[in-house]
Structure 1
Amino acid sequence: MFQNRMGGWMKAAKLLKEKVDRREITTGLLATDLLFVEMVEYCQRSGIDYLIADQEHGVHSDDLVARVCALGRMVDFPVLIRTIDTAYSTIRRAIDRGPCGFLLPGIESAVDLDRVRDSIYLPPRGNRRPGGPGNYWVSDFTYNTWKHEVEDDFIVLPQIETRTGLDHAEEIAGHEITTAIAIGPYDLSADLGVCSEMDHPDMKAAVEVIRKAGEKSGKTMWRIGDGSVLAKEGFHFLCIGEPMAMLKNEMARANKAAQDVKV
């Protein structure tokens, strides 16, 4: 019923992919420490393009994430999930919550993405067994409907966070389910032996390896960090922060501004 009235599960994903494909500045948030349903509205009113519910490091319940995804579908706003891993059981449970896509941690090879693909696709292309809140948003449960209304536009952002992943960047970028190739900058810097040194030559070289791997497959690179800096470097598919960190920084700025007033 919702599919016909509101455009379906993947309308928001299509809109996001189209904006990325136009190479327009596309911004999102990674909600790790704080997530609530109304955050979807706050993001939309702020001009943010998408939201990622972090279930790798965040402690958000599955029920909360499902409700955030549901509101996103209602208002055609893309909500993705960062999963804790890429095990079959993790992926199929996560897609049942009804997201537009996944940010996948620690991807090291095409084999990892094969497993994810098989967890997203129904037989005969994969092994998914659908259920849960996501089922509310397809017009029927036939194979072709799942393929056209969900699988064909599902967003997958594999994060390269290790030397091994870096060595296999081209096959990761070129995989059939990869929408854009992504980086996990902190974990990658640690694995490279330059923990948190984002300006270190080894990190800059790693970014270029990932960027070029994406370009070779005709795909862009997803970056997380200071949006204005990354945009000036030529990146356009951006995650510009974590809401609680942004709130903390704004509180500190406002407090300092008040304290600096001479009375």
Structure 2
Amino acid sequence: MFRPNRLKARIRAGQKSFGTWLQSASPAFAEMAAVAGFDFIIMDEEHGMGGLQHAVDMMRAAACTDATFIVRVPSSDPTYLRRLVDAGVEGLLVPMVETAEQASAIVEAVRFPPRGRRGNAFDITRSSSFGLVPDYYGRADDNLLIIVQIETALGVENARAIAEVDGVDVVFIGPTDLSGSLGMPGQTGAPEVNAAIEKATAATRAAGKPLATVPRIGRTANQLFDEGFLLVATGSEIYFYRLGITELMKEWRAYSAQQAAREAGKSAYGR
């Protein structure tokens, strides 16, 4: 379903936007997140379980509100990028972008000629509301949100060149993989990781592009907004469910231990 990209409009207006991740490929969670009021939803196909049809089902569920639906793709494979765009995705988040050449290839893959190499069948694709948006060809390129993810040491070194690529709308800093690339896996709050992030963010700002990221050790979402990030995506439904069931099981095990102790005491008294 074609509609003006609300998140892209918010970005252009300099408005902070708050989002969440979905990894279970569940339309129910997509609908819930949208109704809850998130500005954007990121379906994670890099580490999550969903594919193209799951993405379409989740897009439809999230379309009940103005929440913008983004897919983090498994890779920069142009064939799959084009399939998602034809399916009507509103935003693409591409991981592990390390050079301007890679960023240019991503943009080229999803833009119509003469600006790109996207195949043209818009009169039958979901992206144009199955051809019911007659001026889709002229509006498609600028409506799509393209976000590239910098999460390696090489990506940091090339951050300005990546950000300067025409068609790259947002640069997303991924602290977890960046910490691994720097030989410090999981240490997202380490001084070396913070220094690399600051280098990448400074380069991106110099190129005039907005920034996105996730909370990391020592930085909450609100702190990151205060530091100038325009988009921040919080934890996924799996993350929050894990927190909930961990606490639930902790309470259950404590209760079970108390019950077992009582029963043991009764047995000892009975003897």
Cα distance change, pair 256–22 in 1 and its aligned pair in 2 (3 A): farther
Aligned to 1:38: 28
Pair 1:28-2:19 in alignment: yes
Equivalent residues of 1:92, 1:130 under 8 A apart = no
Cα distance change, pair 19–137 in 1 and its aligned pair in 2 (3 A): farther
Cα distance change, pair 109–147 in 1 and its aligned pair in 2 (3 A): farther
Aligned to 2:235: 241
Equivalent residues of 2:34, 2:62 under 8 A apart = no
Q: Which of 161, 164, 180 is equivalent to 2:154? A: 164
Counterpart of 1:117, as a letter, is V
Equivalent residues of 1:31, 1:52 under 8 A apart = yes
Pair 1:133-2:126 in alignment: yes
Q: Output aligned runs, 1:173-188, within 5 Å.
A: 173-188=163-178
Aligned to 1:192: 182
Any idea what the Cα deviations from partners look like across 1:59-105, whole Å, max 9, x if unmatched? 21311211222343454321111111112212112212211111111
Any idea what the Cα deviations from partners look like across 1:176-209, whole Å, max 9, x if unmatched? 1121111222211111111111111110011111
Q: Report how many aligned residue pairs link the two structures.
A: 250
Distance (Å, rounded) in 2 between the aligned partners of 1:191 and 1:113? 19
> Whose Rg is larger?
2
- Quote how far apart the aligned CAs of 1:235 are: 3.0
Structure with higher RCO (Cα < 8 A, 6+ apart): 1
| Residue segments in structure 1 that go unaligned for 5+ positions in a row | 1-7
Pair 1:206-2:199 in alignment: no
Counterpart of 1:243, as a letter, is E
Cα distance change, pair 245–129 in 1 and its aligned pair in 2 (3 A): same
Pair 1:54-2:44 in alignment: yes
Cα distance change, pair 201–55 in 1 and its aligned pair in 2 (3 A): same
Distance (Å, rounded) in 2 between the aligned partners of 1:167 and 1:42? 39
| Residue segments in structure 2 that go unaligned for 5+ positions in a row | 260-271
Distance (Å, rounded) in 2 between the aligned partners of 1:41 and 1:87? 28
RMSD (Å) for aligned C-alpha atoms? 2.5
Cα distance change, pair 25–252 in 1 and its aligned pair in 2 (3 A): farther
Counterpart of 1:238, as a letter, is V
Aligned to 1:147: 138
Q: Output aligned runs, 1:97-108, within 5 Å.
A: 97-108=87-98
Distance (Å, rounded) in 2 between the aligned partners of 1:58 and 1:147? 33
Counterpart of 1:83, as a letter, is V
Counterpart of 1:17, as a letter, is K
- Quote how far apart the aligned CAs of 1:129 are: 1.1
Q: Output aligned runs, 1:80-119, within 5 Å.
A: 80-119=70-109
Pair 1:222-2:215 in alignment: no
Equivalent residues of 1:138, 1:146 under 8 A apart = no
- Quote how far apart the aligned CAs of 1:137 are: 5.3
Aligned to 2:8: 17
Counterpart of 1:113, as a letter, is A
Equivalent residues of 1:87, 1:115 under 8 A apart = no
Cα distance change, pair 18–139 in 1 and its aligned pair in 2 (3 A): same
Give the alignment's TM-score, normalised by structure 2. Answer: 0.82
Distance (Å, rounded) in 1 between the aligned partners of 2:165 and 2:131? 26
Counterpart of 2:137, as a letter, is W
For structure 1, which segment, 39-48 or 53-62, has the greater mean C-alpha deviation from structure 2 after superposition? 39-48
